[in-house]
Copies of this chain bind each other. A is one copy, B any other.
Amino acid sequence: MPQTILSPDRPFRPLDETQLVDYIKSTLVIRELIGFDSGKGVIDVKEVGDGNLNFVYIVAGPSGSVVVKQALPYIRCVGESWPMSKDRAYYEMLGLKKQGEICPGHVPEVFFFDRTMALIAMRYLKPPHIILRKGLIACIEYPLLAEHMSEFLARTLFFTSLLYNSTTDHRRGVAEFCGNVELCRLTEQVIFSDPYKVTQHNRWTAPHLDEDARAIREDGSLKLEIAGLKSMFCERSQALIHGDLHTGSIMVTVDSTQVIDPEFAFYGPMGFDIGAFLGNLMLAFFAQDGHAKMDADREQYKKWILKMVVDTWNLFQKKFVSLWTEHFGSGEAYPPEIYNDPKLLQQVQSEYTKDLLHESLGFGAAKMIRRIVGIAHVEDLESIADVSLRAHCERRALGFAVMLLKERRRFRSIEEVNDALASR
């Protein structure tokens, strides 16, 4: 647990850049981190948050920088009309700490947390780190991306599941993260509900996609499928998941991959994290034609994105099963006295990962759909200036996602998904 001040004499208040400087001046831990402990020099603060929820600052001092993130009691991109518990900062801190313990190479350290102020100070991810989504738009290949993300997924999901833990520890974690219910409800609304009904929050490229959006709202079999996934999201405490693992929650360089922003963390279905990442890669894939120039068609880059989809799943599966075999008997799900036959264990693992693939494809598809006809869109598609071209890319992505959500169970491997994508 990072050093925490409860500051009972200092009630919550949102900090602007000037107030943040004062806050830091009065906070020894942060002063020391940026080399301002003597009080000499300058503290430079820059707001850099481009997410939907919070304010994020890079705080630079005489000899170092940190990132400071503050949660306000509403959703940033909507405003005070959509209240949201600022205690999400507490769950983000818990998530960062837990995932950092499990996978230190891919999660920034938390240095300081102030629960009253809903304020986290964490490691500054120096340039050339950029948000992965921006890298995907800029056509940059990250040779270690699948390796790193499969490592993050395999380790964080395995080590917080009943495959590794006792039921007692598991239920303690489940109970703790039940407190993060407001963020879960936000997901339930924007991913599993809004795209399937008429609501003022929804938007899409109009009028081009009017009919496509309407078809989704009138597709009974799609609604049946989304209901099943929503039940799983609400009821199944399989592992401590990140809860918002899209390509905007990942910062990268060619040799570093860092997962940030787990304020949606709770005990949920593993496939929700895997699907978030794969689904956002697929959105990036469908957006490429919108970014192609006459002299560079991006076909090569599209192949690389598909390779990331395939490699991430296959490496994840391999690493996850290896952890399971290595730590077999540590968790309470499969007692070794029962699953004592190597062939039986292999069969159990194969059934488990087969279901997980189908669940991941389902959640991934749901995340694609909501990014095209729901409230929050993705820059991959939004940044395509030619509206007709953007609508064309969006329609293809949407069509694929609807098919995937309905027919996910017929895919026996990620290669079959790759083939279906490549043939679009």
Contact = CB atoms under 8 A, between A and B. Distances in A.
B184 A175 contact: no
Contacts of A184: 167, 171
Contact of A237 (B168, B237, B332): B237
Contact of A234 (B162, B231, B344): B162
28 contacts: A167-B181, A167-B184, A167-B188, A167-B234, A168-B181, A171-B179, A171-B181, A172-B178, A174-B174, A175-B178, A178-B178, A185-B332, A193-B338, A197-B335, A198-B337, A199-B337, A220-B347, A223-B339, A224-B344, A224-B347, A224-B348, A227-B333, A227-B348, A234-B332, A235-B237, A235-B238, A236-B236, A236-B237
A390 interface: no
A334 interface: yes
Interface string A175-208: 1101101101100100001001111000000000
Interface string A219-250: 01001100100110011111000000000000
Interface string A146-188: 0000000000000000100001101110111011011011001
Interface string A311-344: 0000000000000000000001111011101011
A52 to B, nearest CB: 20
Interface size class of A (residues with CB under 8 A): 35 or more
Contacts of A334: 227
A180 to B, nearest CB: 9
A101 interface: no
Contacts of A196: 338
Nearest to A166: B185
A44 interface: no
A351 interface: yes
Interface of A: 162, 167-168, 170-172, 174-176, 178-179, 181-182, 184-185, 188, 193, 196-199, 220, 223-224, 227, 230-231, 234-238, 332-335, 337-339, 341, 343-344, 347-348, 351
Residue among A170, A223, A235 with most chain B CB within 10 A: A235
Contact of A333 (B179, B223, B231, B335): B231
B230 A333 contact: yes
A231 B355 CA distance: 13
Contacts of A188: 167, 332
Contacts of A185: 167-168, 332
A230 B331 CA distance: 13
A196 B181 CA distance: 37
Given A171-B181, A224-B348, 19 more contacts: A162-B235, A168-B181, A170-B234, A171-B184, A174-B175, A175-B175, A175-B176, A185-B332, A193-B335, A196-B338, A197-B337, A197-B338, A220-B343, A220-B347, A223-B339, A230-B333, A234-B332, A234-B333, A235-B236
Contacts of A227: 333-334, 339, 348
